[in-house]
Structure 1
């Protein structure tokens, strides 16, 4: 397991084209490793918000809630995978849902490394050096997007332009899914309220 957590993900990190090809066609990608990467990213984000140096940390410790990371990291992760799979199924994409989850999980490694690194860096830098912290954070985000782009292109066997178009459409589909979920919850809430009002009315009359 330790070998799976280090060798293949770091190979994908440094050799994304060959690495993602191996994940799909050589069956070197493991779902459990992708989910471990997601867990590590959630853990790194929680620790960063709790223990980052005061120079860059503007969070009030008592207001932090680790459960919120599910909304900020885990939920978008699976929303992306579901939206991408739903969309690419209609656009002749070759990627299966499991492969999309694995590709996305392996792509988040730069975020994991940089956030753990930023915990240490933020506690030794001064205010003038805080630009280094934000530069590392931005660099890790760009690296993640680059890996996600390559992974999406290879897993679905798309061209560059079609990959860019698909990724933008995936973000739109994510928004639509969130809207539909909120709409359903709103309708259910209204329905429950209506049923309760009828029940209360009948109870008062009897």
Structure 2
């Protein structure tokens, strides 16, 4: 089954990123459904981690954990990164399409699932004195994913390392700008609706 093959290919991507990301784009060894699957798995991993990590390493109050907020946060960051990166690279002679960026980004997240999900189980077996290993592997998961995201951007757009680094920094700035504009637009719409409701009520009761 093609979908299963594209899922399995993630192991080639994370261990041989240059070949892997090249094949994702040029040889179509990946797919959007597989990339979205890894995004969903990342959401599940981070949610399970918040709720089920051993008490020695879990500083979250269960009553304050909001699954919906966690889901929206990951999805929003994923979408913002892809859109901001696509907008920016379109102006910087990038070779990747929006589809390519979404696939590469989804595959780059897999180390978070691969490492942090088993860590939830091991957090119940280790002691506080062994916590340094827990935190070390947790940090490795994010560092690994970050490196893959960097390399994925470089291979997808055929950039030099320096240009890739600059692009990633500008992409994060772009994410902030898009988020700000979105919140501003939402605020204006909300005020317009409130104003319209006020006018309607005044006209209705006269």
Report TM bin, short chain: over 0.9
The residue number in structure 2 matching 1:99 is 100
Which TM-score applies when normalising by structure 2?
A: 0.95
Residue 54 of structure 1 is matched in structure 2 by 55
Equivalent-residue separation in structure 2 for 1:33 and 1:192 (angstroms)? 40
Answering whether residue 163 of structure 2 is matched by residue 158 of structure 1, we say no
In structure 2, the residue matched to 1:119 is: 120
- Structure 2: unaligned runs, 5 residues or longer: none
Q: Deviation string for 1:18-45 (max 9, x for gaps)?
A: 1111111111111111011011111111
Over the aligned positions, Cα root-mean-square deviation in angstroms equals 1.1
Structure 1 segments unaligned to the other structure (5+ residues): none
Deviation of the 1:9 alpha carbon: 0.3
* Partner residue, 1:2: 4
In 2: Cα distance, 1:70 partner to 1:138 partner: 21
Q: Which SS does the other structure have where 1:58 is aligned?
A: coil
Matched, 1:142 2:131: no
Please say if residues 7 and 30 of structure 2, whose CA atoms lie closer than 8 Å, have aligned partners that are also in contact. no
Matched, 1:193 2:194: yes
Aligned residues: 204
Q: Deviations over 1:138-186 (max 9, x none)?
A: 1111111111111100100111111000000000110001001110111
Q: CA deviation at 1:125?
A: 1.2
Q: Quote how far apart the aligned CAs of 1:126 are.
A: 1.0
Aligned to 2:17: 16
Runs of 4+ in 1 over 4 A off after TM superposition: none
Q: Secondary structure at the match of 2:22?
A: helix
After TM superposition, the score normalised by the length of structure 1 is 0.95
Aligned partners of 1:71, 1:162: CA distance in 2, in Å? 30
Aligned equivalents of 2:4, 2:122: Cα separation in 1: 26
Distance 1:4 1:44 in 2: 20
Paired residue secondary structure (1:191) = helix
